Amino acid sequence: MSLQKKKTPMREQDPKERIKNYKEVPFGYNDQEALMEAERCLQCKHQPCVDGCPVKVPIPQFMQAIKDGDVVEANQIIKTKNSLPAVCGRVCPQEEQCEDLCVMGIKNEPVAIGRLERYVSDYNMERGSDKSSSKEIEKMKIPELKGRKVAVIGSGPAGLTAAADLAKYGLKVTIFEALHDTGGVLRYGIPEFRLPKSIVDKEVESIKELGVEIKLNIVVGKSLTVDEIFEQGYESIFIGVGAGLPRFLGIPGENLNGVYSANEFLTRVNLMKAFKYPEYKTPVIVGDKVAVVGAGNVAMDSARTAKRLGAKDVYIVYRRARNQMPARSEEIHHAEEEGIELKLLNNPVAIHGKDGCIDKMECLKMELGEKDDSGRRRPIPIEDSNWMLDVDTVIIAIGQNPNPLLTKNTKDLDTESWGGIIVDDTQQTSREGVYAGGDVVTGAATVIKAMGAGKQAVESIKDYLLNKKDN
């Protein structure tokens, strides 16, 4: 039997229908589709796909378990390395990671590793068999660490992963989270139609089942300090507070009514449930015409959310070209299918208002010049090419930096000029016993990179505690 050259397609909601709801866009594989796709895996001995995964999921082994019809076993295999597989199967940039190194991708399309990871995870969640193997976890426990206390600050993917792995070693773990709910960007940033919050709830629940305690509404650096956490008997701390402070363009008119940071806009809709207004009391009024500035995943999510809130014309305004857009190609494709218009090689220079509200956004046309430090051709303004875009709302999605609340109020914690915490290869900060990872170290990056950093930090915390003099 010859192998299918292309990935088994995934069925999804029709674009005309889905812009009227917040339900997840792709439906996921059924049993037959998953088996067909897993059959494409060649079981390569040198498993290059695993090298592409920051948390080293045993990919060929879980594919084999699907082929053998044992989806429960496939889940146990994935969970040995990945505490959030249902999330990663949906939002990982697989095309640049595991799938990029898949041997099938040399001549054909790579195996759909992410889609199969999602299938395995959903299958086990739906059937209640989504437990990490208690036998495997028991084997991981280290007697010298049993019951010793470690604190994790932040419950995003970095913090959740660190907490799960620390608990597996037998440590007593407490997560301190500033918001009233868990998940970080998974909850307040990535919209329901890409990552249903019921999935985040289930992933968090399975981490709690490992014995992790979660304390909400505690802003470390304000209501509790790092020193006070140590005073409470915690022997080590992992900081995973992300990068939640939005950057702005610094152009005239950014303080007008109707200008949002993507962070505020998405938090209102996702965390504060503005999409259910008036049932939930958080209004977001977008009007008919919305411009989103930026072209990453955050920009695509904002644009697609604005469409679902009823905006007729939604534009992505980006100063570079299409092949320089940082968003996943799947997200750009979905956005265009939903009628989002790309205004590429355009740089906003001012937002003009009438009676305190937005009326127009002034843009300058750009062309591509020589390559810059990032290796991409630099956008150069075309003189006197200014033009006006009629808009009611502008959403700025050009990146985030870490919030300085924790770093400014913690002694001896070295930071970069842009606010990121400085760590060494082992994720250790300048303060003894304090480790950090995720967006707070790298700046805005990806879920799986944050998880990888959380895992690395746990190995370092384990060694630190085992070697501690008063152990």
Rule CB under 6 A: choose which of 403, 407, 410, 415 binds ligand FAD.
403
Smallest gap from residue 336 Cβ to ligand FAD (A): 17
Q: Which long-range contacts (CB under 8 A, 24 or more apart) does 435-438 make?
A: 435/236, 435/237, 435/238, 435/239, 435/460, 435/461, 436/238, 436/239, 436/240, 437/158, 437/162, 437/238, 437/239, 437/240, 438/154, 438/156, 438/157, 438/158, 438/159, 438/240, 438/242
Count of residues of this chain found to bind ligand FAD when the rule CB under 6 A is applied: 41
Q: Which stretch binds ligand SF4 (CB under 6 A): 97-105, 162-170, 361-369, 392-400?
A: 97-105
| Strand-pair category, 236-239 with 434-436 | parallel
Smallest gap from residue 95 Cβ to ligand SF4 (A): 10
Return the one option of ligand FAD, ligand SF4, none that residue 117 interacts with (CB less than 5 to 8 A, by type): ligand SF4
In this structure, what token pair is assigned to residue 174? 């407490």
| Strand-pair category, 346-354 with 245-246 | unpaired
Rule CB under 6 A: choose which of 24, 99, 177, 313 binds ligand FAD.
177
C-beta closer to ligand FAD: residue 158 or 237:
158
Rounded to whole angstroms, the Cα distance separating 66 from 76 reads 12
Return the one option of ligand SF4, ligand FAD, none that residue 75 interacts with (CB less than 5 to 8 A, by type): none
Applying the rule CB under 6 A, the residues between 430 and 459 that interact with ligand FAD are: 438-440, 444-448, 450
Smallest gap from residue 460 Cβ to ligand SF4 (A): 21
Return the one option of ligand FAD, ligand SF4, none that residue 177 interacts with (CB less than 5 to 8 A, by type): ligand FAD
Residue with the two structure tokens 């080293």: 56
Return the one option of ligand SF4, ligand FAD, none that residue 446 interacts with (CB less than 5 to 8 A, by type): ligand FAD
Beta carbons of 438 and 157 less than 8 angstroms apart: yes
Three-state SS string across 49-70, please?
A: HHHCCCCCCCHHHHHHHHHCCC
In this structure, what token pair is assigned to residue 309? 């809130």
Burial of 322 (0-12, 13-18, 19+ CB in 10 A): exposed
C-beta closer to ligand FAD: residue 116 or 436:
436
Rule CB under 6 A: choose which of 8, 75, 76, 82 binds ligand SF4.
82
C-beta closer to ligand SF4: residue 1 or 469:
1
Amino acid at 430: S
Smallest gap from residue 409 Cβ to ligand FAD (A): 9
**Is residue 274 within the footprint of ligand FAD (CB under 6 A)?**
no
Q: Spell out, one character per residue from 116 to 155, where the chain touches ligand FAD: x when CB under 6 A holds, - when not.
A: -------------------------------------xxx
Rounded to whole angstroms, the Cα distance separating 190 from 460 reads 30
**Is residue 195 within the footprint of ligand SF4 (CB under 6 A)?**
no
Beta carbons of 92 and 100 less than 8 angstroms apart: no
Rounded to whole angstroms, the Cα distance separating 244 from 263 reads 7
Residue with the two structure tokens 């898949």: 102
**Distance from chain centroid for Cα 359:** 33
Rounded to whole angstroms, the Cα distance separating 169 from 462 reads 8
**Is residue 171 within the footprint of ligand FAD (CB under 6 A)?**
no
Rounded to whole angstroms, the Cα distance separating 348 from 74 reads 49
Length of the chain: 471
**Is residue 178 within the footprint of ligand FAD (CB under 6 A)?**
yes
Q: Which stretch binds ligand FAD (CB under 6 A): 11-19, 113-121, 343-351, 402-410?
A: 402-410
C-beta closer to ligand FAD: residue 41 or 441:
441
**Is residue 185 within the footprint of ligand FAD (CB under 6 A)?**
yes
Beta carbons of 298 and 262 less than 8 angstroms apart: yes
C-beta closer to ligand FAD: residue 379 or 420:
420
**Is residue 294 within the footprint of ligand FAD (CB under 6 A)?**
no
Residues engaged in binding ligand SF4 (CB under 6 A): 41-44, 47-49, 53, 55, 57, 59-60, 63, 82, 88-89, 92, 94, 97-98, 102-104, 111, 113-114, 117, 448
Residues engaged in binding ligand FAD (CB under 6 A): 91-93, 153-159, 176-179, 184-185, 189-190, 219-221, 240-242, 244, 266, 297-298, 301, 403, 405-406, 438-440, 444-448, 450
